[in-house]
A = this chain, B = another copy of it.
Amino acid sequence: MGDGGKKVRVLIRPREGILDAQGKAVERALPALGFDGVEQVRVGRLVELVADDPDRIDDLCQKLLANPLIEDYEIEILDD
């Protein structure tokens, strides 16, 4: 890999309207731990990588990292 590799962060979330079982499980656990006032918990995936060509990451998300039927994704290109 060249030195030109850029750090890329991909945030993947369950799509709006789809039951997020993990998020719900977190919400259920909150009161017992004394955390009131926390709501709308959504649990997704975080993928971080270094890419020579960050422009191709959108394609990678479509094909592999996210399933557009059930997930939204957001790509952040981080400056070094």
Minimal Cβ-Cβ distance residue in B for A47? B43
Q: A21 interface residue, CB < 8 Å from B?
A: no
Q: A18 interface residue, CB < 8 Å from B?
A: no
Q: Which residues of B contact A52 (CB under 8 A)?
A: 36-38
State the majority secondary structure of interface residues on A.
mixed
Copies in the complex: 2
Q: Which residues of B contact A2 (CB under 8 A)?
A: 37
Q: A51 interface residue, CB < 8 Å from B?
A: yes
Give which listed residue, B33, B38, B45, B64, contacts A49 with CB less than 8 A: B38
A interface with B by C-beta (< 8 Å): 1-2, 5, 11-13, 23, 26-27, 29-30, 33, 35-53, 56-57, 60, 63-65
Q: Other than A5-B40, A12-B46, A44-B48, give 11 A-B pairs with Cβ distance below 8 A.
A: A2-B37, A11-B46, A23-B47, A27-B49, A37-B51, A37-B52, A37-B53, A38-B49, A40-B49, A42-B49, A44-B47
